Structure 1
Amino acid sequence: MIDYFIGLSPIKQAIIATLFTWGMTAIGAALVFTTKKVNQKFMDGMLGFAGGVMIAASFWSLLSPSIEMAENGPFPSWFPATAGFLLGGLFLWLADAIIPHLHPGSSMKDAEGINPAGRRRSTLLVFAITLHNIPEGLAVGVAFGAVAAGMPSATIAAAIALAVGIGIQNLPEGTAVSMPLRRDGMSRRKSFFYGQLSGAVEPFSAVIGVLAVTTMQPLLPFALSFAAGAMIFVVVEEVIPGSQENGNKDLASICLMIGFAVMMILDVAFG
């Protein structure tokens, strides 16, 4: 598989990788066809696992390479990682404050963003997961862009490992959208459609990530850490609280550690 990827352009590499992550979101959403209710402990455990994957990916696949790439640059090696990381969090915070959305499991009165009252629950749920999938797509695109830019610490295997890790954690996200919609009375087909739709943004944001770092290589350390900051914001603001709000705190915490370990192994073994 790695040999196949090497012969492709970075944009094609990123698109194929994020089609996989989108497909994993669709698989999670497809659970709406097989069951009426997903076990809450299972969902909380999967969300915890997803949080662990995202935290590990943020460091091993994004922040650490950012610091390494900046060592021979014009700035202190810590500066691009710090600046990009904080800017990524700021970007998600602003988007979270502006875009109307509703976190899975929340009631309509808890909808966030500008003027969410006039929108349907299904639209707000999709907006929430779509908003949080943007940094994941960016991360994959930047990873493949770094390989194309010839950065020594960037490899095809590491970029693929990042895509696999993000794909794994996308499973519960698709379910987290489709199942609440089904409980609200929406048909299984429509619930699945909206659930998988939340992952559609990843190929587009991946292409943006590739173009940004291949056309402006000095931005690469900043772009890597920007994606990391955006992902950490998502984990802290949504994933971890969502995994623990139903009383399964210990299970979610253990699964988070397992997810971190799995992503760390993927990145270190293949990077």
Structure 2
Amino acid sequence: MDYIKSLNPVMQALLATLFTYGITALGAAFVFIGKELSRKMLDGILAFAGGVMIAASFWSLLAPAIEMSEGKALPAFLPPTIGFLAGAMFLWLIDKIIPHLHVNFGEEHVEGVKTSWQRSVLLVLAITLHNIPEGLAVGVAFGAAAAGAESANIAGAVALALGIGLQNFPEGIAVSMPLRREGMSKGKSFFYGQLSGLVEPFAGVLGAAIVGFALSILPYALSFAAGAMIFVVVEEVIPESQQAGHTDFATIGAILGFTAMMILDVALG
């Protein structure tokens, strides 16, 4: 931990998001085992990822943002509210612009602008979209800790990175396995699965760099990342996990994911 503290916050964010990307690649490598996962299991692990994201949005992002806003000129609820809504709106706009296809949906459900891109590319873009706020969240958390914010610390940022990594493993599986099931080779399925996580280091570095300029924007930046993640969970992750009718199993997966992230954040943060 002391070594991490000695690093520049941008480098901290880069290393942390390279870790979360690596876990995505590890999950995608599951395709080489050759055993086909049932749709029920995929729904459960996707919901688990959603639960982690919900818990991380509150404990690691919104709660610190609210604490940082207290005792200031503006009402304590205002900066987190503005940031949260801005984050959700940002993802909504990206969702409307970038062509993508959610896992387990047919090509008639392609979202974004019309395109002739291959299904595999559209699937990767769908996962990439919700890796943006994840990487951003990790970067902002390390930036907040480095800025000396009272309600943010390195241990909490590390807990967030571990939580994001934890849910990235099933995400990697959720991309590579369906592609394999559709007839793509194991190598290509793995390639596209890990590719979806490459955006996280870029988003992480950007988040750490932005908050490094001014402590005053931290509540907005933290809640922005939270709003973006909650949008992804509500718009994409939960509906996908419930689509095939495995509602109870998926719900349990989400509860377990939420609990795992809560334990991580409280124990380490």
Task: Return the TM-score normalized by structure 1.
Answer: 0.97
Post-superposition Cα deviations, 1:147-194, rounded to whole Å, max 9, x if no partner, equal: 111101111111000011111111121112112222222211111011
1:262 to 260, 263, 266: 260
Structure 2 residue aligned with 1:200: 198
Give the partner amino acid of 1:17: A
Pairwise mapping of residues 1-271 of structure 1 onto structure 2 (< 5 A)? 2-116=1-115, 118-271=116-269
Q: Secondary structure at the match of 1:145?
A: helix
Contact 2:49 2:257 in 1 (8 A): yes
Letter in structure 1 aligned against 2:124: V
Deviation at 1:258, TM superposition (A): 1.4
For the Cα contact (< 8 Å) 2:140–2:221, is it kept in 1? yes
The alpha-carbon deviation at position 36 of structure 1 amounts to 4.5
Amino acid in structure 1 at the alignment position of 2:224: F
CA deviation string 1:38-83 (max 9, x = no partner): 1222212111211111101000000000010011333111001111
SS of the counterpart of 1:186? coil
Report deviation, 1:5: 0.8
Letter in 2 for 1:73: K
Q: How many angstroms does 1:15 deviate by?
A: 0.9
Encode CA deviations 1:90-113: one digit per residue, 9 max, x unaligned: 111110011000101111111110
Q: C-alpha separation between the residues in 2 aligned to 1:99 and 1:139? A: 21
What RMSD over aligned residues (CA atoms) do the two structures have, in Å? Answer: 1.1
Shift of 1:233: 0.4
Report percent identity of matched pairs. 64
CA distance in 2, matches of 1:36, 1:183: 11
Separation (CA, whole Å) in 1 of partners of 2:3 and 2:118: 43
What secondary structure, in the 3-state scheme, does the structure 1 residue paired with 2:3 have?
helix
1:105-160 CA deviation, whole Å, 9 max, x = no partner? 111111110013x1111111111111110000000000000011110111111100
- Matched residues in 1 for 2:92 and 2:254: separation? 23
Give, in angstroms, the shift of residue 26 of structure 1. 0.6
TM-score w.r.t. the length of structure 2 is: 0.97
Tell me, in whole angstroms, the C-alpha distance in 1 between the residues paired with 2:37 and 2:264: 28
Q: Which moved more, 1:207-216 or 1:172-181?
A: 172-181
Number of aligned pairs? 269
CA distance in structure 2 between the partners assigned to 1:192 and 1:223 by the alignment: 33
SS class of match (1:104): coil
Gaps of 5+ in 2: none
In structure 1, the residue corresponding to 2:184 is in which secondary structure?
A: coil
Q: Structure 1: which 5+ residue stretches go unaligned?
A: none
The worse-fitting range, judged by mean Cα deviation, of 249-258 and 143-152 is 249-258
- Which shifted more, 146-155 or 179-188? 179-188
Equivalent-residue separation in structure 2 for 1:119 and 1:42 (angstroms)? 28
Q: Which moved more, 1:194-203 or 1:168-177?
A: 168-177
Distance 1:269 1:186 in 2: 41
Aligned mates of 2:103, 2:41 — CA distance in 1: 15
